[in-house]
Amino acid sequence: MVTRSLVRVLFIYAGAHSVTITVTNNCEYPIWPGVLTSPPQPQLSNTGFDLASKASTSIDVPAPWNGRFWARTGCSTDGSGRFTCATADCGSGQVSCNGNGGATPASLVEFEIVANGGQDFYDISLVDGFNLPVSLAPQGGTGDCTAPSCAANVNAACPADLQVKGSDGNVISCKSACIAFGQPQYCCNGDCCNTPEKCPPTDYSRFFKSQCPQAYSYAFDDPTSLFSCFGGPNYSITFCP
C-alpha cells in the first residue's frame, strides 16, 4: 500500500463495534475476492472466497480495522490441488489468501474503519494497476459519505506498454506506470520524487484518472480520491458495477 501525503486524523471512541462489508459480483463470470488486514491486526476469519455471477457475500469486520479488498479472476485448481488465478493471485495456493496480498495489477478497495461512530476513510486505488471495475458505497453514516466508483473497463483502453495479456491474447489487466517501469517519477519515491511537489501527475497517471476520476491514479492523488464518513456505516463493494 503506497503511503499517502494526507494526514488523517482518526477519532477513536471507547468501545468497539463491527461493520458489515457486503461484496457483490455483478460481472458475467465468477470472481474470487481476497481480503487483507493491515498489520499488526490479526487477519479476518475469511481472507478469500469464491463469488458466482450476481452473488453476494457479507463479512463482519471488527472496528477499528485497516485493510483492503480486491478480486481475482481466471482462477482454477491444477492437478496437484494448487489454486491459482490469472489476475490478482495471492500466491497462497488456496481460495483463502491467508494474509497475502494480491499480485499486481489489481483494483483495490481500501479502508480505515474506526470504532463507534468515528471518521472512516476509504478509497478505490489504481496505484497498483487495474484488473476489474469496482464501486464502493457507504450504507448509512453522516458527513460527505461519497460513494466512489471506477466503472470503466480500463483494460479496453490500456496503453500497450502497460498491458497484461492472457493466454488468449486478450488484455486481462493494466499495470500502473510504477509497476511497469519501477522508476521514482512514477512511484513517487526516492529523494527526487517523494513529495507531491516533486512528483506531479504523469501522462500515465492522467490516463487512469481520465478513466476513473474518483480512484487513486498515483501516490499523491488524495484530494480527489480519498473519502470519509462518520457514524459507523456498513459498506457495499460491487465488482463490475
Is residue 80 exposed (0-12), middle (13-18) or buried (19+ Cβ within 10 Å)?
Answer: exposed
Three-class SS state of 70: strand
What pLDDT is stored for residue 16 in this prediction?
54
Per the rule left: phi > 0, alpha: psi between -120 and 50, beta: everything else, 65 is beta
pLDDT band, residue 107 (cuts 50/70/90):
very high
Q: In terms of CATH, what superfamily is 17-153+212-239?
A: Thaumatin (2.60.110.10)
Which residues, in sequence order, are bridge partners of residue 215? none
Going by pLDDT thresholds of 50, 70 and 90, the confidence category of residue 89 is very high
Give the confidence band of 147 by pLDDT, cuts at 50, 70, 90.
very high
Q: Which amino acid belongs to residue 230?
A: F
Q: What is the pLDDT of residues 150-202, one digit of tens each?
A: 999 999 999 999 999 999 999 999 999 999 999 999 999 999 999 999 999 99
Cβ pair 74, 82 in contact under 8 A: no
What value does the mean pLDDT take over residues 119-132? 98
What is the model's pLDDT at position 117? 80
pLDDT band at 116 (very low <50, low <70, confident <90, very high): confident
Note the pTM of the prediction, 2 decimals.
Answer: 0.92
- Cβ(21)–Cβ(35) under 8 Å? no
| Chain mean position to CA 9 | 21
- Kindly state the average pLDDT of the residues 220-227: 96
Q: pLDDT tens digits, residue range 43-77?
A: 999 999 999 999 999 999 999 999 999 999 999 99
Average pLDDT (132-136) is 98
DSSP 35-63: EEEPTTSPPPS--B--B-TT-EEEEEEEE
Residue at grid coordinates 484488473: 131
Unique residue bearing C-alpha cell 496503453: 159
Q: DSSP assignment, residue 7?
A: P
